[in-house]
Amino acid sequence: MQLPDSFVNEMNDFFTRHNEVPRDGFYESFDKVPLKGVRFSRSKITCSDKETEFLGDMNEEIKPVSWCSGGYYVNNEPGGRDPLYHAGVYYPQEPSAMLPAQVMAAKPGEIVLDLCAAPGGKACRLGEDMHGKGILVANEISFERSKALLRNIERSGIEGLVILNETPENIAARLPLFFDKILIDAPCSGEGMFRRDKNACKSYMNYGPKVCVPLQESILEAADKCLKEGGSIVYSTCTFCVDEDENQIKRFIERHPKYHVKAHPEIKGVTHAGADSILPGSMRIWPHMSEGDGHFCVHIVK
């Protein structure tokens, strides 16, 4: 794959500065076939034996995603005419994208906001974890994308959920200090999607880090205004860019020192940042070190 020169330069600089992440195999990973996955709905299936039974019916092997309960790798393109898909039994989802909702671990009775929710995979998982108790708000600023969000939420049968088509700033103005937990799967330069989306490289050239960094910053500021004291934010991207990931959160905590990073136990396939890293406690999925697209995730507590 022909990668953008600016991206290659950025990553060469990263690997030079951070010897803990090997360079070998990184660029070659973009020529590999993108991985597919499904996440079974725990509101539709209460027994893992059923998951393996359905995977057999789908002619798939049993290969769990290590960082997501109910997540599995599949070889075939799921959905389409499959009645299990239309019944909301499973949700087709890129394996790395399953991590943030797992990290958030929404609980029944909480008030939770998925701030950039379309197409809805993460919101569905949050709703399943809440068991219809509490309030889940799934917001999508794009009206067209909010239609896909609505379809997927309806298919999932999630209860206690409200869909909004609003700006983060308007939500913050109307619902200050309202939410227990906020998930931000932030709009980003999409470097982790290069091998999956043929238009991602072109989009990167037009909407790279210089465009995304201030947008992410404004979303984080709105989320802070919405979040209760003692609440938490899970921030994730599908980019390798340090300025959109670790440095974005470092700058946010410098502006809001009441926040700290919550470290999570080691998960197979996820690279956990140590004490001497850019942002201790943050997490990454590297495509040459794991079975998933590039992903960044961090859990911060107010």
Three-state DSSP string of 110-139:
CEEEECCCCCCHHHHHHHHHHCCCCEEEEE
Side-chain-side CA neighbours of 142 within 13 Å: the count stands at: 11
Q: Which residue has the tokens 């075939």?
A: 76
Count Cβ atoms within 10 A of the Cβ of residue 206 and give its class: 0-12 exposed, 13-18 middle, 19 or more buried: exposed
Point out the residues that are catalytic.
238
Count Cβ atoms within 10 A of the Cβ of residue 155 and give its class: 0-12 exposed, 13-18 middle, 19 or more buried: middle
pLDDT of 267 strictly over 80:
yes
pLDDT of 172 strictly over 80:
yes
pLDDT of 22 strictly over 90:
yes
Q: What is the pLDDT of residue 79?
A: 78
Nearest CA among 39, 81, 76, 41 for reference residue 61:
76
pLDDT of 104 strictly over 80:
yes
Residue 75, SS3 per DSSP = coil
C-alpha to C-alpha distances, 268 to 24, 65, 68, nearest whole angstrom: 20, 9, 11
Please state which of the ranges 25-34, 193-202, 221-230 shows the lowest mean pLDDT. Answer: 193-202
Contact by Cβ (8 Å): 151, 85: no
**Portion of the chain with pLDDT greater than 90, in percent:** 91
> For residue 258, what are its two tokens?
């009441």
Compute the average pLDDT of residues 209-224. 97
Phi, psi of 89 (to 5 degrees): -70, -35
